[in-house]
Chains A and B, each alone.
Chain A
C-alpha cells in the first residue's frame, strides 16, 4: 500500500510541475526554451536554499525527473564538490552531476533518430 501512495505522490508532484509549465505556455508569451531555462534555474535556486529537498523526499521521481530536478541535482552536486575540492568544485560539480543525464540524452536522441523519421504533428 505504501508503494501505491508513493506512486500517487509522484504523479501529483510531476503533474503539478507540468501544470505550471502548461499555464506559462497558455497565459504568457514565454517560449518553450525560456520556460525550460526557467525550470532548471528554479531547481538550482530552490535546491541551493534547501526548499527542493523536502519536495524530492515527498514526490520522489515526480520531483527529480522534471527539469527542476535537473537544476536541483546541479546544485546538490556543486555543494558536495565544493566541500571536497574547494572553489574548483563550483566549476566541476554541476557537470559531474549532469554527466549521466547529458550522455543519456545524446545517446537516446541518437538512437531515436536512427530508428524513426520525423513527421508533421497532424
Chain B
C-alpha cells in the first residue's frame, strides 16, 4: 500500500479530489463588506423567512449545499457522504439541514475550524476510494451564536475591544473523485494548543499558537517554505491573532507577511463596520473559501493556497468553571494542479 503520510502530521492525497462546486449564503452585514462581490446569496433578512435564528441557520446550510450541487451540475442523490457542522449545541443546524436529504451524514464540531475539518475528512475519504462524490457544509449565525456563547440579543451586552463578530454565513463545497481543479492535495490536521487564555472575548489570541503550530508543521512535513504558497490564510484569528502569528514566525526568522492573511480580517471592513478585531465563526472561513478564495483560484489569481481554519474549543460552561480556551488549527493545501 502506498504511503500517504509525510512527516509527523501531514497526509498526502495521491488522488487529489476535485473541488467541483462551491457556494455560499451570507447575511446583510457580510454583504456590505469588502468581499460582497464574491457571495452567491446576500440575504437582506437575517431570519431567512424563519421564526428563529437557529431555523434561519438551518435554511442557510440547505441553500448553500443546494447551490454548490447545482454548480457542480449534480443532485443530492449523487453524494456518497456529507460532513457538516456549526457552532450550536448538538450541531443542530447541520443535523436539521441534512434531515430528509437521504445523504449519509457525519456531524462535526470543530468550532470555527469546522470548514477545514469537514473539507479534510471529505477529501481523505474520496482519496481513499470510499466513494465518488462528497460534500462539506459549515455555517454560523451571529444571532444564534450570541445566544449560544454569550447572552441572548435582548440582553444588549457591550462588546469588548478584542471581541470579534460572528459571521452570519454558510459555505458548501462539493468534492468529486475525478474532475477539474482546484484540487485538495494535502491535509495537516492540527493538535490542540492551550496557552491558558481564559477571555472568551480574545479568541484570536487563544487560537494563534495552534495556527502557528499547524502551519509550521505543514511546511516542515512537506519541505516547503512559506513562499511556496501564493496565499496562506487562517480562519478567524482577527487582527490581534494575526499579529501574534506574524510575530511567532518572525521569532523563527521567517517573514510570513507577504503572502499571509486571515479570513476574519478580510470579511468585514474593520473600521467602517465596527466589528472590533474582525469576523469569527465557522461561516467566516467557509464563506471566504467558497467565494473569494476558490473564485480567485479559478480566475488564476492564485495557484497554491494553504487554507488553515482555526477553532476555539471551549464552552461557556467550561469557562464558567475556570477552564482556559484550547485552540486548534487544521491546514488544507489547495492547488490548481494535481
Contacts and interface: CB of A to CB of B under 8 A. Distances in A.
Interface in B153-209: 153-154, 157-161, 168, 198-202
Interface stretch (A6-14, A87-95, A113-121): A113-121
B157 A32 contact: yes
B158 A121 contact: no
B143 interface: yes
A102 interface: no
Contact of A120 (B29, B159, B273): B29
A84 to B, nearest CB: 37
A120 B143 contact: yes
Nearest to B273: A122
A113 B29 contact: no
A103 interface: no
A83 interface: no
A117 to B, nearest CB: 9
B154 A118 contact: yes
A32 to B, nearest CB: 5
Contacts of B158: 22, 25, 32
A118 B147 CA distance: 12
A26 B143 CA distance: 23
Interface residues of A, number: 13
Nearest to B156: A121
Contacts of A113: 154
Interface string B272-296: 0100000000000000000000000
B128 interface: no
B153 A29 contact: no
A29 B142 CA distance: 21
B134 interface: no
Contacts of A25: 158, 160
B143 A118 contact: yes
A119 B149 CA distance: 17
Interface in A65-122: 113, 118-122
19 contacts: A25-B160, A26-B161, A29-B201, A29-B202, A31-B200, A32-B151, A32-B157, A32-B158, A33-B151, A118-B143, A118-B154, A119-B143, A120-B46, A120-B168, A121-B153, A121-B159, A122-B28, A122-B29, A122-B142
Interface of A: 22, 25-26, 29, 31-33, 113, 118-122
Interface pairs A-B: 10 shortest CB-CB: A29-B199, A118-B153, A122-B29, A32-B157, A120-B142, A118-B154, A25-B158, A120-B143, A25-B160, A26-B161
